Amino acid sequence: MVSKILQIVLSPAIALVIGMLLLGLSRKVIARIHRRYGPPIYQPVIDVVRMMSQASISHGALFELGVVLALAGSIVTVLFIPLGGTSAAAGSHPLAHRLLCPLSSSGGLLVVIYLMLFGPVSIALGAGASENPNASIGVSRNMLLALAYEVPFLLVILAVMSHYGTVSLADIVSRQQQSGWGVLTVPLSTVAAFLILPAMLGIRPFDLAGAPQEIASGPLAEYGGRYLALLTIQNGIQLFVVIALFVNLFLGGGVNVVTFLLKVFGVFLAAELVSAVLPRVRIENALKFCWTWPTGLALAQMIITVVSK
Amino acid sequence: MLPTTILIVAFASAGLVYLAGKVHARLRNALAVLSSLVLVGLIGLGYGAWGELVYVPDFLGLELVLRLNLLAWFFAITVAAVVSLSTIFSLSYMRRKESANFHYSATLAVEGAMLGIVFAGDLLSFFIFWEIMSWSAYLLISCNRGRALEAGLKYIIMSLVGSCGMLIGLLAVYTGLGVLRIPLVAEGMQAASPGFVLLVLLTFGLGFGIKSAMVPLHTWLPDAHSEAASPFSAVLSGVLIKMGIYGFVLLMYVVVGLKLLFGVGAAWLTFRHVLCWLGAITVVIPTFIAVLQTDAKRLLAWSSIGQIGYIILGLSFGTSLAVAGAIFHALNHALCKSLLFLAVGAVEHNTGGVRDLNKLGGLAKRMPVTFACALLAGLGLIGIPLTSGFVPKWLIYRSLIEDGYPFLALASLIGTWGAILYVYKLLHNIFLGQLPEKHREVRRAPLSMRIPILLLGLGILVFGVVPGIPLRVVQAIGETFGFARLKVTLWGLASEAGALNVLNICLAIVIAFVVVFLIMRLGAKGPQVSQEDSYAAGSAVPVGRYHYTVDFFGPLSRMIAPYLKDRVDEFYSWVGARARDVFSVTRRMYTGYAGTYVLYIISFLALLIFLQSVWKVW
């Protein structure tokens, strides 16, 4: 019981810290690629603290509710994702510890993909409660972008789930630790997932939903102060959740938290390097891109998986 | 005794309400609400009883039987609840409308017929009640005249085709097996030839497929749902099309039975596979057609077809999890879709009949209760955790994935993402964003509209947090079909591989919500400003004119619209037009001159004489 509670506190804490670190890292890496010095890596933390102390206008209950629900949804999602460790059956590694996943037996991957919706849908509701047309445009783009990457993403996770014959994320991780990583067993899916990773993270070239120069940051246009602070945290956790899912599905999770987090940083850096050199695309192009190469690869892998079963 | 009482109350009150309307509108309203509530009470009273009861001992030499079991009660309580809430809603919606007398009376008649269908113990009573339902629904759909007449005609023609199919099936069963009582038919089917089983499945399936609006038999639904009066749309989409689903359950799992069902067909072309794929198509295509709609009720109508796809898919997939999910989803869809139709009806009522999604906006502050409940129902359709839509969809997905049908799972998951698009479009364009100037004066919906909306919303929430309540009933129904027992708990499923516990999800969300909320309270508080006071990079946003609704999902619509024409509807219309051509040519034989008719008679006689003299036919 105590270890359960400890896990429930620990998981979101890790996600929070690493998420903020990822935000800082992203700015630093992009700055270096642009041959700038860049802000310190803890700059997002400074920003959050500063914003918490700044007063901001509000457009009413739904406007605030959207922010709270979005962050709550992201935190809850973390509880369903294994953050390193092995289940008892495969614990042979000297540095291994028990699986860090507080709610591993409450519905599995299917619940995760539903919970990942909580964030975008809540922000959409909160943004809709303001009267800013920019926010509505941003939300419309965000939903279309979600549809664009969900088609290949669903194919990818269905291929993984049918390959391992389970909907439980914890089982998928432990099976990989026993018999080889997903990147080897479902290689085309891995490539497809990596191609849509920038879209899932909402970074360039797919940062069209919150494009600051075009639509005044879209859904975030009306948010400032404490609301923006919470949404920044939410963004960080969302980044962490997506990358953690990738690591769990294809890189075998981690035998302990440290290796898991190293893999998270590795994948994030790779995604950032792609992102740093590409310009923003339009939503039409995003739809077309996501529904051609990634979908084709994921579909091919799924057919292979189904046929070879 | 009780089922006869229920049916008598329903049909008698249908007549009485009409007569009361001739006396005084208030008397009629009171009587209509009272009798629909009495029906809910009676069904609640008898809930769970088993048995059979002969109510007409000799009808052309046949016994007409009513039959009580858990499946019947489950559907009966849903029907009675939705119809009574729709009747309460009608109090304001139908006020000062000419057709009100007829509306109340026909709605009760439809309810009586639906209850008759679920309680019917033999195929003949089933067919009789089915026809009463089809015809009273036809009258209600075309009640509004104008375009509604056309929609009603389309509906009744398709219904008649379905009824013909059922009649053929009925006659085949009677000549083949000599019995019509459902348990006896089920016994007889076990010994019947596979061809006969397939014939029964196809003929009855045609009728049920049309009523439940399965692709490619769906074309009546978008017109009928959008043209009917909103309270009746709620009944139509909430429970009436579920009668098709009830029919499928009865046909597949009671009459034909689990053992025979999976054997029908050859190699990969089995009845089960075809129906599964039709279900999957019914999920995907109508969902994306719904995204393109600009009429609120038409959007909901297409979404109904999409959601029916999940139920058909689950039912025809035929594992214990999938069937439980399908029957649970029938309840979930009844709650969510009736709520959404009632909410759109309330908006329509308050804005003077506007349901064009491009002309509304910003009503959340004017109609907060309606908005909150519509939001809940929308999330329920998507299947977000903590709404009643989550568990049934989870059951269906999981069954499809674990039994190795990832492509069917893909179709149903993509349908869910499409549902997010149309649900948000509906909610945003009506309730969020800028309030147009001409709707500034809109007030909240009257109490008689808010009560049914609130009760349905409550149902969605309760069955979402405590899914065990309906799940227990659903799993007991599944057991009577011969499925393995599911380990149902109050909070979901308990099993070794892949348990589901909604309580954990619920607690996690509530705790996270409270924590985040408290953290937010720590931050500096700012003033609350009016909606118009928004950021536009230095230039003022014109008030009431900048609601981003037209072409809301423009880039997607432009991409997918060419592929989403309703070709089935076009084909049916083409067949209809060609038939009309043929008939208009044939009509010319009636010239109106007696001489021509004499000529016809003489030439016919000449033909007969010729036939006889050459071939000696007689």
Summarize pLDDT for B366-389 with one digit per residue, the tens: 888 899 999 999 999 988 888 888
pLDDT at B497 over 70: no
DSSP B328-343: HHHHHHHHHHHHHHHH
3-state helix, strand, coil in chain A (%, to 5): 75, 0, 25
Residue A88 confidence (pLDDT) = 57
The closest alpha carbon to B112, from B99, B135, B129, belongs to: B129
Residues whose CB is less than 8 angstroms from the CB of residue B275 and which lie 6 or more positions away in sequence, other chains included: B205, B312, B315, B316
B537 to chain A: which residues are within 8 Å by CB? 216
Contact B500/A302, CB-based, under 8 Å?
Answer: no
For residue B419, the chain A residue with the least C-alpha distance is: A147
Residue B601 confidence (pLDDT) = 92
Q: Does B370 touch chain A (CB under 8 A)?
A: no
B525 closest CB neighbour out of A55, A150, A222: A55
Q: Does A300 touch chain B (CB under 8 A)?
A: no
pLDDT at B229 over 60: yes
Q: Which residues of B44-67 are buried (b: 16+ CB within 10 A; e: fewer)?
A: eebeeeeeeeebeeeeeebbbbbb
Contact B406/A283, CB-based, under 8 Å?
Answer: no
Residue A107 confidence (pLDDT) = 66
Give the Cα separation of B218 and B572 in Å (integer).
Answer: 11
User: With left for phi above 0 and alpha for psi between -120 and 50, is residue B54 left, alpha or beta?
Assistant: beta
Give the Cα separation of A197 and B124 in Å (integer).
Answer: 59
Residue A105 confidence (pLDDT) = 67
Element (H, E) at B522: helix B502-522
Count other Cβ atoms within 10 Å, centred on residue B410. Answer: 24
B553 to chain A: which residues are within 8 Å by CB? 140, 143-144
Measured in whole angstroms, the distance separating CA B382 from the mean position of its chain's CA atoms is 16
Average pLDDT over residues B73-86: 91
Residue A106 confidence (pLDDT) = 66
What sign has the CA pseudo-torsion B122, B128, B132, B138?
A: positive
The closest alpha carbon to B210, from B239, B235, B247, B265, belongs to: B247
Q: Does B537 touch chain A (CB under 8 A)?
A: yes
Contact A143/B519, CB-based, under 8 Å?
Answer: no
- The residue length of chain B stands at 618
Contact B504/A103, CB-based, under 8 Å?
Answer: yes
Burial of residue B440 (number of CB atoms within 10 Å: 0-12, 13-18, 19+): exposed
Contact B410/A154, CB-based, under 8 Å?
Answer: yes
B513 closest CB neighbour out of A58, A68, A140: A68
For residue B525, the chain A residue with the least C-alpha distance is: A55
Contact B424/A139, CB-based, under 8 Å?
Answer: yes
B559 closest CB neighbour out of A117, A167, A287: A287
Cα torsion through B194, B196, B200, B202, rounded to 10: 70
B512 closest CB neighbour out of A55, A76, A167: A76
DSSP code, position B181: B
B528 to chain A: which residues are within 8 Å by CB? 57-60
Secondary structure of residue B501 in the 3-state scheme: strand
Beta bridge pairs of residue B492: B489, B501
Q: Does A108 touch chain B (CB under 8 A)?
A: yes
Between B116 and B59, residue with greater pLDDT: B116
Q: Where are the alpha helices (DSSP H) in B213-264?
A: 220-227, 230-235, 241-249, 257-261
Give the Cα separation of A247 and A262 in Å (integer).
Answer: 10
For chain A, 309 residues long, give each residue's pLDDT as a single digit of tens.
777 788 888 888 989 999 999 999 998 988 988 889 889 989 999 999 888 888 888 887 888 888 988 998 898 888 888 887 777 555 566 667 777 777 776 667 888 888 888 888 888 888 888 777 888 888 888 888 888 898 899 889 888 888 887 778 888 888 888 887 877 888 888 999 999 999 888 888 888 887 777 777 778 888 888 888 899 999 999 999 999 999 988 888 778 888 889 999 999 999 988 888 888 888 888 888 988 889 999 999 888 888 887
pLDDT at B496 over 70: no
- Using omega within 30 degrees of 0 as the cis cutoff, is the peptide bond preceding B286 cis? no
For residue B510, the chain A residue with the least C-alpha distance is: A72
Residue A240 confidence (pLDDT) = 92
B531 closest CB neighbour out of A113, A131, A287: A131
The closest alpha carbon to B326, from B275, B285, B364, belongs to: B275
* Inter-residue contact A26 to A274 (CB < 8 Å): no
Residue B96 confidence (pLDDT) = 76
Best-predicted range by mean pLDDT (A242-256, B108-122, B260-274):
B108-122
Q: Where are the alpha helices (DSSP H) in B351-434?
A: 368-382, 390-402, 406-431
Q: Phi and psi dihedrals of B411, rounded to 5?
A: -60, -45
Element (H, E) at A236: helix A225-250
Q: Which residues of B538-549 are buried (b: 16+ CB within 10 A; e: fewer)?
A: eeebebbebbbb
Q: In chain B, positions 479-498, which contact chain A (CB-CB < 8 Å)?
A: 492, 497-498
Q: Establish, for the pair of chains A and B, how many residue pairs have beta carbons separated by less than 8 Å.
A: 233
Q: Does A305 touch chain B (CB under 8 A)?
A: yes
Cα torsion through B526, B532, B537, B538, rounded to 10: -100
* Inter-residue contact B151 to B142 (CB < 8 Å): yes
Q: Does A65 touch chain B (CB under 8 A)?
A: no
Q: Output the six-digit token pair for A59.
A: 């457009």
Q: Phi and psi dihedrals of B593, rounded to 5?
A: -95, 130
Contact A125/B375, CB-based, under 8 Å?
Answer: yes
Angle at B536 between CA B533 and CA B540, to 5 degrees: 65
What sign has the CA pseudo-torsion B54, B55, B57, B63?
A: negative
For residue A118, the chain B residue with the least C-alpha distance is: B384
A51 to chain B: which residues are within 8 Å by CB? 523
Q: Does B384 touch chain A (CB under 8 A)?
A: yes
- Domain definitions of chain B by residue range: 316-519, 567-615
Q: Does A281 touch chain B (CB under 8 A)?
A: no
Residue A221 confidence (pLDDT) = 81
pLDDT over 90, % of chain B: 21
Min Cα separation A87/chain B (Å): 14
Contact B529/A58, CB-based, under 8 Å?
Answer: yes
Q: Which residues of B570-594 are buried (b: 16+ CB within 10 A; e: fewer)?
A: eebeeeeeeeeeeeeeeeeeeeeee
Q: Does A152 touch chain B (CB under 8 A)?
A: no
Give the Cα separation of B614 and B606 in Å (integer).
Answer: 12
Candidates A122, A143, A153, A307, partner chain B, best to mutate (most B CBs within 10 A)? A143
Contact B524/A106, CB-based, under 8 Å?
Answer: no
Give the pTM.
Answer: 0.89
Give the Cα separation of B607 and A206 in Å (integer).
Answer: 79
* Inter-residue contact B89 to B345 (CB < 8 Å): yes
Interval B147-188: pLDDT, tens: 888 888 888 988 999 999 999 999 988 888 888 888 888 888
The closest alpha carbon to B532, from B277, B388, B362, B326, belongs to: B362
Element (H, E) at B320: helix B320-350
A168 closest CB neighbour out of B407, B498, B528: B498
Give the Cα separation of A217 and A207 in Å (integer).
Answer: 10
Residue A100 confidence (pLDDT) = 74
* Inter-residue contact B77 to B335 (CB < 8 Å): no
- Using omega within 30 degrees of 0 as the cis cutoff, is the peptide bond preceding A198 cis? no
Q: In chain A, positions 160-219, which contact chain B (CB-CB < 8 Å)?
A: 161-162, 165-168, 171, 216
Q: How confident is the model at residue B460 (pLDDT cuts 50, 70, 90)?
A: very high
Give the Cα separation of A233 and A231 in Å (integer).
Answer: 5
Q: Phi and psi dihedrals of B43, rounded to 5?
A: -70, -40
User: With left for phi above 0 and alpha for psi between -120 and 50, is residue A78 left, alpha or beta?
Assistant: alpha
Measured in whole angstroms, the distance separating CA B539 from the mean position of its chain's CA atoms is 48
Contact B547/A136, CB-based, under 8 Å?
Answer: yes
β pairing state of B269-270 and B265-266: antiparallel
Secondary structure of residue A103 in the 3-state scheme: coil
pLDDT at B499 over 70: no
Average pLDDT over residues B425-449: 83
| Mean pLDDT for all residues in chain B | 85
Secondary structure of residue A93 in the 3-state scheme: coil
A125 to chain B: which residues are within 8 Å by CB? 375, 427, 432
Residue B5 confidence (pLDDT) = 86
